[in-house]
Structure 1
Amino acid sequence: MQTDLDLLIIGAGCAGLSLGVQLAKMKERAPKVLLLEQRTVYENDRTWCFWGQQENAYSDLVNHEWSKLTIQSKKEAISLDCSFAPYQILSSDRFYEKALQSIALNPLLDLRMGSSLLKEPKWQQGWWYFETTFGQLRTKSVVDTRPKALHDLKRTKLWQSFLGYEIECDQARFDPNTAVLMDFYKANSEFVGFNYVLPQSEKRALIEFTVFAEQPYLEDDLVDKLEESVAQYIGSQGYRILRKESGMIPMGLAIDDISSSTPDAHPSYIRAGLTAGAARPATGYAFQRIQHWAVQCANSLSQSGVPTTHAKDFFLLRKMDDIFLNVIRNNPELGPSLFMALFSRVDCKRVVRFLSDQGSLLDYLSVVKALPATPFLKEILKISRH
């Protein structure tokens, strides 16, 4: 028996669930939607961070926030007061629970766990035809949030790879009011590495080791450095690992890698999520950007029946991110000094707006002025020759 749908969402992770929540809000005006998800259970497998802004989605669910940030290298340390927009953390279990509850309230949306595609779809006479593990279906539109394979992302400018442990110590060790945004590993020609430490109590913190590099680092590649980081922050005292998280975020996808959706590039079939341009290229921040996209995509489906992919950043921001990523990729040994210059020379409010995609022209000019000219001019000259 064949199921007819208005929309199929392939993958019910952050992007898929966020869109589902927005569609569920439409109540009886919502399209008939199926969310197809391979996993059989949702676990607390990741966290998302962002600066507190009035318009943020899910701000009522955040686990913790910090009014002070530290950025440090082997040579200096910078302390920032971000009480005007506290740095916030949201655990995935809270988001999943809220999203699943919202979707379950609308009978026009159905989530199928433990399900997957058996074949890639066929387009015929206005419908996409799918074979899945629970049967055949056809749908008018598709939002595909499955991550692309690494071999399909070879032209990505830079990769952000990370591995983290959420730990609980036997004794008080952390300041729960201060997050360590970047504690840089020694400068080298292979990668930009730093510790990322988010304490949620005096005894409990998420400690991650993060790498910006031309190629992605697998979890096994980062274990030793993460364990060095944990020892650096807690010394020899006892601790237990509550959970771990890891990931690889593409920074600076090739334009046609973002825009490609199907062999026919049909407008009714779009891709979404991290490997489709959800993350800010120069930072990797994605959660609030995904929420903005979910609202826009739901509105598009409501008005035209056709989904929309992630909106492009405006030209100046795209070029700034592009040049910055080129500099880091070609000169990773400069990474610590570049970030230290950014945070030490630019007013904190301007930096936060810039990193939160809310910067003004003056904010962007302040960032440009703060960074050393020579490596950036070299990249600009390279671009101008092409």
Structure 2
Amino acid sequence: MEMFDFILAGGGAAGLSLALRLIQTLPHKKILIVDRAPKQTNDRTWCFWSVHPSPYPSATYRTWERLAFFNTNFSTTFTLSPYHYYLIRGIDFYRYAYDILNASPNVRFEFGDVRSISEDENAAYIDLNGVHFQGEWVFSSLYDPGKIKADPKRYHYLKQHFRGWEIETSLPFFDPQTPTLFDFRTPQNGQMRFMYILPFSEREALVEYTLFSPTLLTSEEYDQALQRYITEVLKIREYQIRAVENGVIPMSDQPLPRQLGKRILAIGTLGGRVKPSSGYAFLRIQKDSEAIISSLIQHGHPFDLPESPARYRLFDSIMLQVMLRHGDQMHHIFTQLFRNNPVKRVFGFLDEEQTFLQNVKILTSLPPLPFLRALLRLKLLGRV
């Protein structure tokens, strides 16, 4: 049985990000990355804001310095400084990671179905299509919602689901310097629904329909909403659909265990790296990879990892409660959020990087009643 220092089960954003950092800091270690198949399509788009340069500059497709917000009774364009808004396409990141990792003599890829992950006192083991590999540590990002034991009486479970059309217009229409972060000028139907525009040129953009709800729509419903928005709200009459992307991101405040065994660590979505109330994960994955490396170097194991502050976990639960029961009010709440706060304060709050006093300023800028009701319900559930 072949022995590796690190085995990464799953070769998506979490697995590849961790592998890239491992070969930078521990280049002498042997790494095995297992995945179902090589990633060869542009299956997703990651966006994030940061005051720092993109962690992968050569794989970053676009960078913006301002964003737009629209609702029926309020609209604004705000400058992001000191932040930038970054876009990384899945295919660009995969190619970047494969080029670097395949050039390392200590990294190996194997493809197939992971049948099991196990361990004993001395090592962890992975069964890939009946072939067994041994590692000192296994990092798993193999998220299967069917294997998560849900507790709906205590925790909240929503999905952020979306369909995006990459369109090309016959005439110049878009401002390539200004993406639209939220456009609530679409029927809410009792849920939080908005459009999201990432412009690539004056005639090209990704237009995405995003919803936060427990259940998905039919394919026709996503398409009808996109078509209506493009023709009736944006007033674009002539366009062609160049590409389509779909996705579902789990959003839950149920704690997910990081340590799955004495030698097995959960990463990515499986490790709870998706922000429960927003669905953002890419930058959180990068920070988590850095923390894992730090723990390995300082403690000889990967388990000494920071947790989100308790108050932010409570804020996430409150927001999920409001989304679940009063989703049609979210467009009013987000309007107040961006109307009453500078973007630096909003992003700092969403990044969990603010003082308690700054949190209070955010919370007092929002309509109190939905949040007080949500807090009361959490108390009845024994969560606070």
Give 3-state SS (helix, strand or coil) of 2:127's partner: strand
For 2:48 and 2:112, how far apart are their aligned partners in 1?
Answer: 32
Name the SS of the counterpart of 1:102 in structure 2.
helix
Q: Which amino acid aligns with 1:34?
A: L
Q: Match for residue 116 of structure 1?
A: 113
Change (3 A) 1:219 1:359: farther
Give the corresponding residue for 2:133.
137
Tell me, yes or no, if the aligned pair for 1:144 and 1:272 is still in contact at 8 Å. Answer: yes
Structure 2 match to 1:102: 100
2:251 partner amino acid: M
Q: Distance in 1 between matches of 2:176 and 2:36?
A: 36
| Among 141, 144, 165, the residue aligned to 1:148 | 144
- Aligned-residue offset at 1:18: 0.2
Gaps of 5+ in 2: none
1:222 counterpart SS class: helix
Superposed CA deviations along residues 142-185 of structure 1, whole A, max 9, x for unmatched, are: 11111223563744432211111112222211111221111112
State the secondary structure of the residue aligned to 2:19: helix
Q: Does the alignment pair 1:168 with 2:164?
A: no
Per the alignment, in what secondary structure is the counterpart of residue 63 of structure 1? Answer: strand
Q: Identity rate of aligned residues, in percent?
A: 26
Call closer, same or farther: CA 1:226–1:352 in 2, change over 3 Å: same
Task: Please give the alpha-carbon distance, in whole angstroms, between the structure 1 residues aligned to 2:147 and 2:292.
Answer: 28
Residue 302 of structure 1 and its aligned partner are, at CA, apart by 3.8
Displacement of 1:111 in angstroms is 1.8
1:34-75 Cα distance to aligned partner (Å, 9 max, x none): 000112342222111112412642245422233332222223
Partner of 1:360: 355
Contact map agreement 2:253 2:316 (CA 8 A) in 1 = no
- Cα shift at 1:83: 3.9
Query: What residue is the counterpart of 2:24 in the other structure?
Result: 25
Residue in 2 that maps onto 1:57? 55
Q: Unpaired segments of 5 or more residues in structure 1? A: none
1:287 counterpart = 2:282: yes
Q: Return the alpha-carbon distance in structure 2 between the equivalents of residues 122 and 52 of structure 1.
A: 38
- Distance in 1, Cα, partners of 2:7 & 2:310: 32
SS across alignment from 2:179: strand
Change (3 A) 1:97 1:70: same
Q: Tell me the amino acid that sits aligned with residue 89 of structure 2.
A: S
Whether the aligned pair in 2 keeps the contact of 1:46 and 1:91 (CA below 8 Å) is yes
Matching of residue 11 in structure 1 with residue 7 in structure 2: no
What is the aligned-residue RMSD (CA, Å)? 2.4
8 A Cα contact 1:11 1:145, kept in partner: yes
2:67 paired residue number: 69
Q: Is the Cα–Cα contact under 8 Å of residues 54 and 86 in structure 2 kept in the other structure?
A: no
> 2:203 maps to what in 1?
203
Tell me the residue number matched to 2:189.
188
Contact 2:178–2:199 at 8 Å: present in 1 too? yes
Tell me how far apart the structure 2 counterparts of residues 355 and 129 of structure 1 sit (CA, whole Å). Answer: 37
- The aligned counterpart of 1:34 is 32
Deviations 1:252-281 (A, max 9, x none): 2311xx1166xxx41311211124311212
* Structure 1 counterpart SS, 2:87: strand
What TM-score, normalized by structure 2, do the two folds share? 0.89
Residue-by-residue CA offset, 1:111-142 (whole Å, 9 max, x unaligned)? 22x3222x213333422333213722222221
CA contact (8 A) 1:219 1:246 kept: no
